[in-house]
Chains A and B, each alone.
Chain A
Amino acid sequence: MTALGAIIRRDIRIALRVGGGALVGVLFFLTVVVLMPFAVGPDLKLLQRLGPAILWLGALLASLLTLDRLFTADAEDGSLDLIVMSRTPLELTCAAKAFAHWLAAGLPLIVATPVLGLLLNLDGMASLAVMATLLAGTPALTFTGMIGAALAVTLRRGGLLLAVLVLPLSIPVLIFGVAASQAAIVGPVPFGTPFSILCALSLASLVIGPFAAAASLRHGLD
């Protein structure tokens, strides 16, 4: 549908331009991961053990950082009214916006992972494992986070509320993401088990997120 393509291209274009927010997430991710070895100390074995967890935590916080503007920007300038009025179902538009957000803010995190893995003493195999789990898991973070983003539109000063609502939904993704990474690096659990659950979480959120977000946006119109 050309309307959805238009929304995705517009959102990515806005995110990539100056002040757009695509860079903010990556810089935050970078900051967290760069500071961690200084905080933990020069224990290389410990850093290697913590590596996947640190990368996952940084990616989670970075992707949630820019998510609260997902719908509030459109609500504030009046675009949301026109989006709701259009013939494109609101659920699909919400999904398209979340997909654009993942492309502009989530993919750069995944691309940055191998480089940052070096800082945490992770070898190639470990970095690859973390990248794969991030690829499977960051959509879940974005699509569950969009529910909070939609609620943040209705409840004006909702920044903190967004975190409170979305964090519990993100925790299973974090657990299985790190578990899958560890399974690939050290075992003994086969990689497939936590990875399939991670994929299942992502797929479920791809459906639930847009419907919940659209319902919340419609309810909040005044």
Chain B
Amino acid sequence: MFDGLDVEAAGGEALALVGHNGAGKTSLLRLIAGLLAPAAGTITFDGGEPDTPVAEQAHYLGHRDALKPSLSVTENLAFWREFLGGEPTDLPAAIEAVGLAHAAELPAAYLSAGQRRRLSIARLLVVRRPIWLLDEPTSALDVRGQEAFGRLMSDHLAGGGLIIAATHSPLGIAAREMRIGAAA
């Protein structure tokens, strides 16, 4: 699917993958996340924990939200915080940061699409990981939500984190663009 692809990104930097539908942005993200096996080539992460695969040092925010409808907002996040391990952060603060404090005990089934997206963004905040792999992160969010997420991304970059995002719309932060697939 990709041939002769050379991608480099550094800490504190955001890389935006752009391209038409079906160009392979999602596939590239999944490749980096370790969900797809490359036919050839390597993915290296300098400066992270040695002998640890990239997948365990990255957060992957895909198209689907990874939420259980019968569990509440807090229960969903508490599960991921416990399951993902590593450096946990304050749970109520994460819920507050995405603007869902008023819905903390509501079952996820009652959330709107935008609220569900915010909840899955909160997952990125409950455990600290250096790499963020984002696939259309702001797709269901309103303008306020996009601005808030822009601030969260800036905070992550300021802390030395790395973001690789596949997106159609502007990310809202300074990002280097990389075009996937042929130019339209």
A is bound by B: yes
* A-B pair number, CB within 8 angstroms: 74
B83 touches A81 (CB 8 A): no
Please state if A82 and B79 are interface contacts (CB–CB under 8 Å): no
Would you give the shortest CB distance from B170 to chain A, in whole angstroms? 25
Which of B30-38, B144-152, B154-162 contacts its partner?
Answer: B30-38
B56 in contact with A78 (CB, 8 Å): no
- Nearest-neighbour CB distance to chain B for A169, whole angstroms, equals 29
Q: Which residue of B lies closest to A78 (CB)?
A: B64
Which listed residue (A6, A13, A85) contacts B60, Cβ 8 A? A85
A7-B83 in contact given A14-B68, A81-B62 (Cβ < 8 Å): yes
- Which of B35, B67, B82 is close to A6, meaning CB atoms less than 8 Å apart? B82
A77 CB within 8 Å of chain B: yes
Is there a chain A Cβ closer than 8 Å to B55's Cβ?
Answer: yes
Shortest 3 CB-CB distances between A and B: which pairs? A78-B64, A6-B82, A85-B55
Chain B residues closer than 8 Å to A20, beta-carbon distance: 70
User: Scoring A residues 68 to 79 as 1 if CB is less than 8 Å from chain B, else 0, what string do you get?
Assistant: 000000001111
Besides A6-B83, A85-B33, A85-B58, 11 other A-B contacts (C-beta < 8 A): A3-B84, A10-B79, A14-B68, A18-B70, A77-B64, A77-B65, A77-B67, A79-B66, A85-B56, A86-B84, A221-B35
Closest to A222 in B: B36
Q: Which residue of B lies closest to A80 (CB)?
A: B66
Report the minimal beta-carbon distance from A71 to chain B, rounded to whole angstroms.
14
Complex A-B: 26 CB contacts under 8 Å: A2-B82, A6-B79, A10-B68, A10-B71, A10-B75, A13-B71, A13-B75, A19-B70, A77-B64, A77-B65, A77-B68, A79-B68, A81-B35, A81-B62, A82-B66, A82-B80, A84-B34, A84-B55, A85-B33, A85-B34, A86-B55, A86-B85, A87-B52, A87-B85, A88-B85, A221-B35
A81 in contact with B71 (CB, 8 Å) = no
Q: B-side interface residues toward A, CB under 8 Å?
A: 30, 33-36, 52, 55-56, 58, 60, 62-68, 70-71, 75, 79-80, 82-85
Q: Residue of B at shortest CB range from A84?
A: B35
Residue of A nearest to B52 (CB): A87
Residues of A within 8 A of B68 (CB): 10, 14, 77, 79
* Set of chain A residues within 8 Å of B33, measured between Cβ atoms: 81, 85
> Across the interface, do B60 and A81 meet the contact criterion of CB distance under 8 Å?
yes
Give chain B nearest CB distance to A156 CB in angstroms: 16
**A157 CB within 8 Å of chain B:** no
Residues from 1 to 49 in A contacting B, C-beta threshold 8 Å: 2-3, 5-7, 10, 13-14, 17-20
